[in-house]
Structure formats: structure tokens, C-alpha cells
Amino acid sequence: MTTDREPPVILWFRRDLRLADNPALQAAQATARPILPVYILDDGPAVRPIGGASRWWLDKSLRALSASIAERGGRLVLRRGESEAELRRLIDQSGATCVMLNRLFEPDGWARDKDIAHALKGDGIEVKGFNGTLLTPPGTVLNGAGGPYKVYTPFMKALRAQATAPAHTPGPRDLSGAPEVESEDINAWGLHPTRPDWSTGFLGEPGQAGATKALSDFLKTGLKTYADDRDRPDRPGTSRLSPHLHFGEISPWRAWTAAYDAAGSNGVSEGQADKFTNELIWRDFSAHLLHHFPTLPTDAFRPEYDRMPWINDAVQFEAWTKGRTGYPIVDAAMRELWTTGFMHNRVRMIVASFLIKHLLIDWRKGEAWFWDCLMDADLAQNSQNWQWVAGSGADASPYFRIFNPVTQGQKFDPDGAYVKRWVPELKRLSPAFVHSPWTAPPEILRAADVTLGRTYPNPLVDHAEARARALAALKVVTGGGEAFPED
């Protein structure tokens, strides 16, 4: 039993917004001292400020965490400001002698936390860090020479060979007993967008309960067809766990274990569980890469790609952001992103390829747009994936692999259902023309109420010309580059 005279342990929540399977919380519990849970909204300059859609998610996730803590007799203390200054104020006000946290592995957060730990330790405050966000912390999956892997498959094999899932812990029943300290009002933080409120179509249920539900829904429905359906934006075939994982509302190990537990029943094979957990390993791979190569969000991993002769046309960039490129699969995806704060993985690849290769717009501009619009915006995942598409990344898709947005649409949205959902002005076109309305005869367009250039844009660029231009640009980078069969 704890009393409020014992010095409390500060539990500094960051991207581990859950009570279950939370190593820092378990360690705080093990001290048998009162736990003072805290969240600090630190908008820099030490770390990149959170983007708009993610702020919406954070708002709801903090409210959910706060309610769970209140149900257990505690109170989530909210502070806004520079992290070290706020922690020091909390230490003064509460008499805490120890801070526990789950580490952030992005270089800026890592460096900031190291400085804070060093400074607090100098003042006699114990600071303890744990891994609560990844399957494996960076530095623990290394190649034979003791260095970081730069290729996914050997990383995946090494992680599988060495990692073991921790046992599930449901979290404490009682979080009472911490001293009262002042807390800010989340309503004053303005995390929910207003003027305009562009979040009305956002999907998902932020918080630990929402994460657990998303996982259990996926296990019941999506997992058994995951390998086939994960590339189909027209089907609800993936877990939609990414924002939950980003904000740490569920441990990746929980998702991993649940997938293998489900194998063998309800038509789920172990192969489907392998496929799904391979994606969780991609998540770790990106995080490890960013930790070891801190310039991943800003510089091409293969430096020669920073010689790319970008055109960076502002009008074309705006057309891409608004879903008005004239390529239906690209436009559907960009409108899905704006409306829901989410975009399916296959179409993330298509729109990124279109921006970089068809429009020759710097991947960093696309990365920044995604950062602001995605509820799951994550520095490691976003920069690694953008560099993957750009061909400049560590284990990247070759630059000369230029997605044809028409054939990609036909392959992964064969009935055009996804396009018609997000680009309703094309909803009367048949599957034969919905991915390339400019190829439809005039009478078909008339019957479908489509007037190109008026009700729906003409293509911003011609695919064959854009492809040739992209390959010519590659020659500037590498002095070579062979044409490759289209995907």
C-alpha cells in the first residue's frame, strides 16, 4: 500500500499512451511508490512538431488515457512547454526523485532525452528508460560486423531469430496516491482543428480500447486474406493499426502474439501471420535505420540522388495535394488522405511515385504533406518509405521502376470501386474507362456526365512522356539506368 508521503515516480508518457504492456509503467509499479503520470506537449525546437492530423489523434488518445487513469483513481497531468523545464517544475512540485519513460528512438528525441537524463541525474534524480514502442530497440539487431542492417530481409531474419515476445500485462488496477499538482486543460491546447475543422471525416477510435478493438476486428476478418488483400485499396483488408502503433496505444508485441495465436483457427494460416508480422518488422527496420542514419528525413540515403534535377512545379504540387491530377487512382488516394487522415499502403506508393517520377517533385515535399495529413505520421516510417519509393533509400525500390497509374489502378482496384468512392464525378464510368477517362469515346463520357477539363481534370502529364523524362532525370543522377518493364 502506498501513501502520499512517499516521493512519487514520474511516469513520463510520450508515444506509449496505454496502460497495458507498458514497460515503464511496470517498472514504476515495481517501486511500490505513487505514480504521477504526465504528458508534456513539447512543440520544439528540439523535435519536429506533430502534424495537423496527428494532433487530432493525440487529442482523443490523451482524453482516452486520462479517462483510464481516472478510472483507477489517478490523474494524468498535462503540461505544455519545453520538456526539461516542465519536468523540473513537476519534480519541484511533487517531490519526485525518479522519472520513468519509454524511449523515443528518433535522433532528435533521443538526443533531447539523453540531455535531460544527464541533467536530471546530475541533480540526483534517477531517470530510467525502456523500450515500449518497437519489437526490438535499435542497436540490438546488428549484422555480423556489429553494424546496422541496410537491407530488410537479413534484418527480418535476424530479428525473428533473436526476439521473444514478452508476456502480456494488463496494467495496474490502482493508480491513486500521487500528490496533486496543477494540470493544464486539454481543451486549451487546440489539438482538434477549427477554422476549418477538416477532421469531420477522420476515421478510427484513438486510445488503448480502440487499438484493441481494431486488432480484434482485423483478426476476425482481415488476417485470413491478408496476403492477397493487403494490396487492395478497395477492400478493408489491413489492420488500420498504424496510428495506434505510432502513439503506442498498443504494443507491437501484442499485435504480433495475437496474430500467431489466431493462426490455426478461423481459416487463418501461419503464413498470413508471417506476412502481417513482416510488416511490423518493416516498422522496426525503418526505426532502426533512422536511429542509425539520422539524416534520413532530410538527405538522400544514397547521396547521388540529391543530384536529381527536380522541377518542383508549385501548381502541379497543389493539384497533387488536392487530388486533381487527372489520374483517378492518384486523385482518389489524395482525397482519401485529406478526408480521412489515412491512406492505404498501395496507393501511398502510387501517389508518391507519381509525385516523384511523373512530376519530378522532390520527395521531401511529399513527405511534409503526408506529415501534416496522416494520423499515423511517423518520422521513421514516412521518411524511410518516401526514400524507398524515390529509389534513394537503403533497401529501396529501384528508381527506374516507374508505376503506371492506369495499370496500377486496373490491377489493384479492378472494378473501380475505390476510385468511384473518392472521385464521385467518375462514378458512372465502367471499369474499362474509370482509370483512364481520357481513353473513353465521347459518347461514353457524355452518358457518364463526364466533361474532361470541366467536371474532371485532363491528365496533368502524359504517362509515356513523364516516364521518359523521369528516366532521363535518373541519368543525371547515376549516369545510367536501364528502362524496366512497367509495374
Nearer to ligand FAD, 99 or 259 (CB): 259
Which residue among the candidates 6, 189, 198, 310 is catalytic per the annotation? 310
Q: Does the annotation count 282 as an active-site position?
A: yes
Nearer to ligand FAD, 6 or 372 (CB): 372
Nearer to ligand FAD, 48 or 128 (CB): 48
Residue 371: count other Cβ atoms within 10 Å of its Cβ.
22
Nearer to ligand FAD, 205 or 279 (CB): 279
> Could you tell me the smallest distance in angstroms from the CB atom of residue 289 to ligand FAD?
11
Q: Does the annotation count 422 as an active-site position?
A: no
Nearer to ligand FAD, 320 or 386 (CB): 386
Which residue among the candidates 371, 386, 388, 422 is catalytic per the annotation? 386
> Could you tell me the smallest distance in angstroms from the CB atom of residue 145 to ligand FAD?
25
> Could you tell me the smallest distance in angstroms from the CB atom of residue 461 to ligand FAD?
20
438, amino acid identity: W
Secondary structure in 3-state letters for the chain: CCCCCCCCEEEEECCCCCCCCCHHHHHHHHCCCCEEEEEEECCCCCCCCCCHHHHHHHHHHHHHHHHHHHHCCCCCEEEECCHHHHHHHHHHHHCCCEEEEECCCCHHHHHHHHHHHHHHHHCCCEEEEECCCCCCCCCCCECCCCCECCCHHHHHHHHHHHCCCCCCCCCCCCCCCCCCCCCCCHHHHCCCCCCCCCCCCCCCCCCHHHHHHHHHHHHHCCHHHHHHHCCCCCCCCCCCCHHHHHCCCCCHHHHHHHHHHHCCCCCCCHHHHHHHHHHHHHHHHHHHHHHHCCCCCCCCCCHHHHHCCCCCCHHHHHHHHHCCCCCHHHHHHHHHHHHHCCCCHHHHHHHHHHHHHHCCCCHHHHHHHHHHHCCCCCHHHHHHHHHHHHCCCCCCCCCCCCCCHHHHHHHHCCCCHHHHHHCHHHCCCCHHHHCCHHHCCHHHHHHCCCCECCCECCCCCCHHHHHHHHHHHHHHHHCCCCCCCCC
> Could you tell me the smallest distance in angstroms from the CB atom of residue 92 to ligand FAD?
37
Q: Does the annotation count 110 as an active-site position?
A: no
Distance between CA atoms of 382 and 164, rounded to whole angstroms?
Answer: 27
> Could you tell me the smallest distance in angstroms from the CB atom of residue 246 to ligand FAD?
5
> Could you tell me the smallest distance in angstroms from the CB atom of residue 323 to ligand FAD?
16
Q: Enumerate binding residues for ligand FAD (CB under 6 A).
A: 230, 238-242, 245-246, 279-280, 282-283, 286, 345, 348-349, 352, 370, 374, 376-378, 381-382, 385-386, 389
Q: Which residues pair with 37 in a beta bridge?
A: 11
Which residue among the candidates 57, 110, 256, 282 is catalytic per the annotation? 282
Nearer to ligand FAD, 232 or 240 (CB): 240
| Dihedral in degrees, nearest 10, Cα atoms 410, 411, 413, 415 | 60
Nearer to ligand FAD, 347 or 426 (CB): 347
Q: Does the annotation count 310 as an active-site position?
A: yes
> Could you tell me the smallest distance in angstroms from the CB atom of residue 348 to ligand FAD?
4
- Looking up cell 477549427 gives 194
Which residue among the candidates 6, 126, 184, 345 is catalytic per the annotation? 345
Nearer to ligand FAD, 86 or 367 (CB): 367
Cα separations in angstroms, 279 against 157, 273, 283:
13, 10, 6
By annotation, the residues acting in catalysis are 279, 282, 310, 345, 363, 386
